[in-house]
Structures are given as C-alpha cells and as structure tokens.
C-alpha cells in the first residue's frame, strides 16, 4: 500500500484536494501541500483545521515550491517520503513534475493536459504532444501515472468507458456536456485560472467526428438540451482534453465536448479577444515594457477561489451517449449534479473546484490500495471505472443516469 501525499498547487482545486485527503488520511497518511506561495498553502491548512476535516489527528505540512525546478521537487518528494503526487498546479508544470516522479518512483496524478506558455490549441492529439511521450519511461520505472483525473477530463472518461462496456453493443457518439448553472454575483469572472480558461477558447476548436479530427471556431456550433435539475441549457462545442484520449482508446466515431456560456461571458470574451487582450504572445508598451496581454487580464480579474462564499446554484456535467443495444437505438445520459453552496460549506470552495478536486483524491485512494496502481501511464478510460465511480458516490460526487427507464442514482457493487 502506498502512503503519503504531496499536493502541488495553492488554488481552489488544491483546497478541495487538501480537505478530501484530510478526510481520508487514515488511508493516505501524511499530507504535504506545496506551491510557489507558501501563504496560500497555509490558508488552505487553516481551512482544513477550521472545518475539522482531518479524520485522524495530524498536521498538513506546507512548503514553497517552484515545481518547474525538477531537482527541488525531487528533493521535497524524498524529504517528505511522498509516494503519491497530486498535481493540481498550473498546466505548465506537468512535464517537470512527471520527471520528478519518474526519478523518485512516486505515483503521479494530474487533472489537465500539459501546456506550453507560448502555444495554444496545438494540433491533436494533445496528449501525444506531451504526456504520452513519457509513457515508456513510467513503464520502465514501474511507476504509475494517471492522466487527467479531474472531472472533465476524468470522471467523464469513466462515464464513457462505463457506457461503452455496459450499456451499448456499439456506440455512435459521445457528447460531453458541461453546464454551470450557478451564479457568483460578479459582473465577469472565470471559474478557474483565467489564463488557462481563455487559452481553451481563443484558438481552434478540435472535435473527433467521423473518426477524424475536425476543426471549427469557438461559438460556431451550439446545442440546447433539457438536462436533469438545471433544465433547458445551451452549450457550445469547444476543444477539450478528454477528446484527445477517448478518440484513441475507445472505438467511437464521434466524440465532442460542449460547454455552457452565458451571453455576458460570450460578449466580454469576444471584446477582449477582438482587442488582442487574450493573446499569449508578449507585446511592448509605449513605455518599452514587455507584457503578455493574457496575463494582464488574469491579474485584473477576480481570483476564482474568491467567488466561493457567494456562489449559488448547481452544475450538471455528463456524457450523452448514443448507439445500439440488442439491435435497437439507445440514448443514455450519465451525469453528476453538484451544488456550489454545499461545496463551500464542506470544503470552502465553489462547485467547479469541488468537481475537479474530489476525483484525484479518489484516484489516490485507488492507487494507495493497489486497484489503480498499474505501474505505467494510463488515462482514466483505460482503467476499471466502477471502483472509481463507487468512491465518488461516497465522497460527494454521486453518479446518476437517465435512459428509457427515467432518471435515477447509479450504484456500483
């Protein structure tokens, strides 16, 4: 059994991860939290203590860490006897943290594909550009790496695998739908890191259609669905991490990702993008100062973690899967509904952070007990989904299903 967890990151998702690790420290052992700003880690620890989240008596250690510094990350892993690293820092650090895990033998978990600061929306498959190039190294080191194990990517990958294996003989399409029906009360803000958020939408939109990569523009394609709890909602096709592994690992000809946006978000985004303020490329001001417009926009927008106290409403995220079973057409929606207020009351973060932060802790528990400790690199859909979804049912992210028999909770033995 593997014990002792290092959480890398100091934002809202890291806060959720810290709380959930604390609630399961009887299995996960010692918890360490590290980010560039130690004060952010200390504030998370204070939240854990105030809410009494530690299952067994203990203390979360905090450290300042530049995770791009591979040697420093390796030193911290060894110093703290860490066996599982949960990387919920910026997507820019993935490859560096992976190297540290290969060199120390610590299992690696993340929630998003690696990105380079000066590149956006690269040619697919995105995992093939970065993480998958290290798969042989993880296999040689007999070290586990689970990629993209947040909610989307992550839980939706498990939903897709479950549907393909259990509910269909053949699958024609998987449409992943992500709706945030909550309200944070601000004129404009992003629910996670503004830099990463905007980078997803300023370039090309890649989808998997007719077994090939298809390119579109943002907000070019939309759909409207009547969804459980949140009702009728419009969403827009955009590129997203999970398409890049599901298209490889599942025999499905059409895989798309849809995200809900309000009219205000679309208007502000369009203006900022049209003015060049969402560019990741540096520009020089009249005063001779070099700045990256996107980073300036990030600096003036609210910190996503600051939205949590006033956030109300719910999220609905799931997989709408269509295909055939026993020769008949079938449609199944496998999904989760989360509540912003409930998330804040439990862990002090909003619902988007909650849905992203609970799954990697469930995955860490499966590595700790050996169920998912596969000794190589894997995406979530390459692993058995039932143990993962069963844990999520117990940890605050229950799975439900809507099919020809209606809507109901989905349980796993």
In this predicted model, what pLDDT tens digit does every residue of 357-371 receive, in sequence order?
999 999 999 999 999
Which pLDDT score, from 0 to 100, does residue 191 have?
A: 78
Q: Pick the closest to residue 21 from 5, 2, 8 (CA basis).
A: 5
Mean pLDDT over 211-221 rounds to: 94
Residues 141-184 pLDDT 10s = 999 999 999 999 999 999 999 999 999 999 999 999 999 999 99
Give per-residue pLDDT as tens, 15-72.
999 999 999 999 999 999 999 999 999 999 999 999 999 999 999 999 999 999 999 9
Q: For residue 79, what are the contacts with CB-CB under 8 A and spacing of at least 6?
A: none
pLDDT, tens digit, for every residue of 263-318?
Answer: 888 899 889 988 999 888 899 988 889 988 889 989 999 888 888 888 999 999 99
Residue with tokens 């978000």: 265
| Residue 241 binned pLDDT confidence (cut-offs 50, 70, 90) | very high
Q: For residue 132, how many other CB atoms are within 10 A of its CB?
A: 17
Q: Which of 94-103, 211-220, 302-311, 355-364 bottoms out in mean pLDDT, i.e. has the lowest?
A: 302-311
- Average pLDDT score over the chain: 95
According to the model, what pLDDT value does residue 38 have?
Answer: 98
> Mean per-residue pLDDT for 85-96?
96
Residue 37 φ/ψ, nearest 5 degrees: -110, 105
Give the pLDDT band (50/70/90) at residue 262: confident
Q: Residue 266 belongs to what H/E stretch?
A: helix 263-274
pLDDT-derived band at 1 (thresholds 50, 70, 90) equals confident
Q: How many percent of the chain have pLDDT more than 90?
A: 81
Contact 97/103 with Cβ under 8 angstroms?
no
* Span of 57-66, 237-246, 288-297, 386-395 with lowest mean pLDDT: 288-297
pLDDT for residue 389 is more than 90: yes
- For residue 125, cis peptide bond before it (omega within 30 degrees of 0): yes
Model confidence at 203: pLDDT above 80: no
pLDDT band, residue 108 (cuts 50/70/90): very high
- Find the DSSP H helices in 29-125: 38-50, 70-79, 94-104
- Rounded to whole angstroms, the Cα distance separating 164 from 174 reads 10
Q: Span 312-329, mean pLDDT? A: 97
- What is the pLDDT at residue 413? 75
| Whole-model pTM over 0.75 | yes
Q: How far apart are CA 114 and CA 299, in angstroms?
A: 22
Quickly tell me which residue has 């008949």 as its tokens. 328
pLDDT in tens, 117-140: 888 878 999 999 999 999 999 999
Residue 192 has pLDDT above 80, yes or no: no
Decide if 321 contacts 174 (C-beta within 8 A): yes
């Amino acid at each position: 059994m593997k014990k002792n967890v290092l959480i890398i990151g100091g934002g809202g998702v890291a806060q959720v991860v810290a709380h959930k690790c604390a609630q399961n420290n009887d299995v996960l052992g010692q918890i360490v939290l590290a980010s560039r700003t130690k004060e952010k880690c200390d504030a998370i620890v204070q939240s854990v203590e105030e809410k009494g989240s530690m299952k067994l008596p203990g203390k979360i250690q905090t450290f300042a860490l530049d995770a791009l510094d591979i040697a420093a990350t390796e030193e911290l892993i060894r110093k703290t006897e860490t066996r599982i690293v949960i990387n919920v820092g910026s997507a820019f650090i993935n490859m560096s943290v992976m190297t540290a895990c290969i060199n120390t033998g610590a299992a690696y978990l993340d929630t998003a594909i690696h990105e380079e600061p000066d590149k956006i929306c690269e040619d697919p498959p995105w995992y093939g550009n970065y993480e998958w190039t290290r798969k042989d190294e993880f296999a040689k080191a007999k070290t586990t790496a689970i990629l993209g194990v947040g909610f989307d990517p992550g839980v939706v990958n498990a939903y897709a695998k479950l549907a393909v294996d259990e509910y269909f003989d053949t699958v024609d399409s998987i449409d992943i739908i992500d709706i945030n029906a909550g309200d944070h009360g601000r004129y404009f803000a992003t629910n996670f890191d503004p830099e990463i958020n905007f980078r997803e939408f300023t370039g090309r939109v890649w989808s998997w259609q007719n077994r090939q990569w298809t390119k579109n523009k943002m907000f070019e394609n939309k759909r409207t669905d009547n969804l459980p709890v949140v009702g009728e909602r419009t969403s827009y096709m955009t590129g997203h991490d999970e398409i890049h592994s599901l298209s490889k690992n599942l025999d499905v000809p059409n895989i798309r990702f849809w995200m809900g946006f309000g009219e205000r978000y679309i208007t502000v985004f369009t203006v900022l993008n049209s003015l060049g303020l969402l560019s990741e490329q540096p520009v020089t001001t009249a005063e001779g100062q070099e700045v990256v417009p996107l980073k300036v926009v990030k600096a003036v927008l609210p910190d996503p973690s600051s939205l949590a106290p006033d956030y109300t409403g719910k999220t609905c995220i799931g997989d709408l899967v269509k295909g055939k079973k026993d020769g008949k057409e079938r449609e199944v929606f496998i999904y989760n509904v989360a509540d912003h207020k409930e998330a804040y009351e439990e862990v002090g973060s909003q619902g988007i952070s909650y849905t992203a932060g609970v799954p990697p802790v469930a995955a860490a528990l499966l590595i700790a007990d050996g169920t998912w400790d596969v000794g190589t690199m894997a995406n979530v859909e390459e692993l058995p989904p039932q143990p993962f979804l069963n844990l999520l049912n117990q940890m605050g992210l229950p799975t439900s299903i809507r099919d020809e028999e209606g809507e109901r909770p989905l349980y796993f033995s």
